[in-house]
């Protein structure tokens, strides 16, 4: 459950799922090693649309404390195009220029390892040219970030890349959330049975709730032990609405000073993708410690400890997701 789900976009075939998990573990093995050596790593998530990109940056230390560093939505204005064009064209020189501009805005540190997880908008409502632009930018951003040496003196690549899949994020944050009882008590829903955990509108609502829960706990210094998110005083100054409200009685759109609910949804995607990377890195590192504690010698005791840890992690995640359920009673779905 922590590293993937058999109900994923790979249907029920084991080989594609196994290949996906191996590729994910390969990335987290690099991050784990850098965390041991350097004490910190940077995690980024980028969400590309046809007219903007959203990104989130967090720093994780060797105790797996996660600090929010940057979180923005940036429009693709004329500064992303060459020759004073108003919009990004599909010419190679333009798409490459826009890609390099995105990387410069992210704030990659030359002294730390940086993982950039990339996702693009996949809505059927987006026209072909917009989809093509997002697809090209996704490919270029991945290629530019994969294994890059930020400075010529680095012995190891300091910039790594991964392609994020929204189904993986949805599974991680939503799939174990109880919804039936809460939806029955929601006055805006006339037929609760019509809604399932896989419905996009239900998942979007849950992800908004999770984001607000994490922000509230970090703002109030009531740090969630499972996620370990921290906000410094600068962020608390940027979120004045959290000072004037209690619980989850605030709007993400207003909290982040955004124009639309769609903007808030995009920002939620990158925030939760980055938090998921932090949590999976912690889980993976703990599993490695279990497996390698006796120089990699496997026996029944190690296997039991491994299985017990995985079961406990699933229970922890299930308990965390259950905490979102009660907030669905008053959500607008």
- Model confidence pLDDT, tens digit, residues 184-218: 888 877 777 777 888 889 999 999 999 999 999 99
Q: Which of 70, 172, 79 is nearest to 114 (CA)?
A: 70
Distance, in Å, from the CA atom of 325 to the CA atom of 317, rounded to the nearest integer, reads: 13
- Determine contact, residues 45/35, Cβ cutoff 8 Å: no
124: pLDDT strictly greater than 90: no
Nearest 5 degrees, angle CA 85-CA 88-CA 90? 115
DSSP string, 252-264: HHHHTT-SSHHHH
- Model confidence pLDDT, tens digit, residues 159-168: 889 988 788 8
Q: What's residue 149's pLDDT?
A: 65
- Model confidence pLDDT, tens digit, residues 58-78: 999 999 999 999 999 999 988
155: pLDDT strictly greater than 70: no
Displacement of CA 29 from its chain's centroid (Å): 18
DSSP type of residue 114: E
- Determine contact, residues 186/328, Cβ cutoff 8 Å: yes
Q: For 118-149, b where at least 16 C-beta lie within 10 A, e where not — what string? A: bbbbeeeebeeeebebbebbbebbbebbeebe
Distance, in Å, from the CA atom of 194 to the CA atom of 183, rounded to the nearest integer, reads: 10
Q: What's residue 62's pLDDT?
A: 93
- Model confidence pLDDT, tens digit, residues 17-71: 567 777 788 899 999 999 999 999 999 999 999 899 999 999 999 999 999 999 9
How many other CB atoms are found less than 10 A from the CB of residue 309? 16
- Determine contact, residues 132/49, Cβ cutoff 8 Å: no
Q: What's residue 8's pLDDT?
A: 46
12: pLDDT strictly greater than 80: no
Strands laid side by side in the 40-48 sheet = 159-163, 113-120, 40-48, 52-61, 66-75, 229-230
Q: Which of 10, 3, 9, 333 is nearest to 196 (CA)?
A: 333
Q: What's residue 236's pLDDT?
A: 87
For CA atoms 85, 86, 92, 98, give the dihedral sign: positive
- Determine contact, residues 159/108, Cβ cutoff 8 Å: yes
| pTM score | 0.91
Q: Which of 294, 1, 309 is nearest to 174 (CA)?
A: 1
pLDDT band at 9 (very low <50, low <70, confident <90, very high): very low
Locate all alpha helices (DSSP H) within the chain, ordered by sequence: 14-38, 92-106, 128-145, 166-174, 180-184, 200-219, 233-238, 240-243, 252-255, 261-292, 300-325
181: pLDDT strictly greater than 70: yes
Report residue 122 as tokens.
């996949």
258: pLDDT strictly greater than 50: yes
Average of per-residue pLDDT values in the chain: 87
Residue 17 Cα distances to 4, 13, 21, 167, 264, angstroms? 8, 7, 6, 13, 31
In which residue are the tokens 């959203």 written? 54
Distance, in Å, from the CA atom of 32 to the CA atom of 188, rounded to the nearest integer, reads: 45
In which residue are the tokens 């921290």 written? 230
pLDDT band at 156 (very low <50, low <70, confident <90, very high): low
Q: pLDDT higher for 108 or 296?
A: 108
Q: What's residue 45's pLDDT?
A: 97
């Amino acid at each position: 459950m922590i590293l993937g789900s058999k109900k994923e976009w790979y249907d029920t075939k084991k080989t594609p799922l196994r290949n996906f998990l191996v590729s994910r573990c390969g990335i987290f093995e690099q991050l784990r090693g850098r965390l041991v050596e350097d004490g910190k790593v940077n995690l980024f998530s980028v969400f590309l649309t046809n007219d903007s990109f959203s990104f989130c940056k967090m720093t994780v230390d060797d105790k797996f404390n996660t600090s929010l560093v940057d979180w923005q939505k940036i429009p693709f204005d004329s500064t992303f195009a060459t020759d004073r064009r108003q919009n990004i064209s599909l010419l190679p020189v333009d798409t490459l220029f826009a890609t390099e501009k995105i990387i410069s805005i992210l704030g990659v540190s030359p002294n730390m390892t940086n993982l950039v997880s990339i996702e693009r908008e996949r809505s059927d409502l987006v026209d072909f040219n917009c989809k093509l632009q997002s697809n090209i930018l996704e490919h270029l951003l991945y290629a530019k970030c994969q294994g890059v040496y930020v400075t010529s003196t680095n012995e190891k690549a300091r910039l790594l890349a991964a392609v994020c899949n929204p189904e993986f994020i949805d599974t991680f944050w939503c799939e174990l959330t109880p919804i039936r009882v809460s939806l029955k008590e929601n006055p805006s829903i006339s037929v609760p049975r019509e809604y399932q955990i896989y419905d996009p509108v239900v998942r979007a609502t849950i992800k908004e709730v999770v984001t607000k829960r994490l922000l509230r706990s970090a703002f109030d210094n009531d740090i969630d032990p499972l996620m370990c998110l921290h906000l410094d005083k600068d962020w608390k100054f940027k979120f004045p609405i959290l000072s004037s409200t209690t619980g989850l009685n605030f709007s993400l759109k207003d909290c982040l000073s955004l124009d639309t609910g769609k903007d808030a949804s995009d920002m939620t995607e990158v925030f939760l993708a980055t938090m998921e990377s932090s949590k999976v890195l912690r889980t993976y590192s703990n599993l490695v410690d279990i497996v390698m504690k006796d120089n990699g010698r496997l026996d029944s005791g190690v296997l039991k400890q491994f299985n017990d840890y995985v079961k406990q992690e699933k229970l922890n995640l299930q308990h965390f997701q259950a905490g979102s359920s009660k907030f669905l009673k008053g959500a607008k779905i």
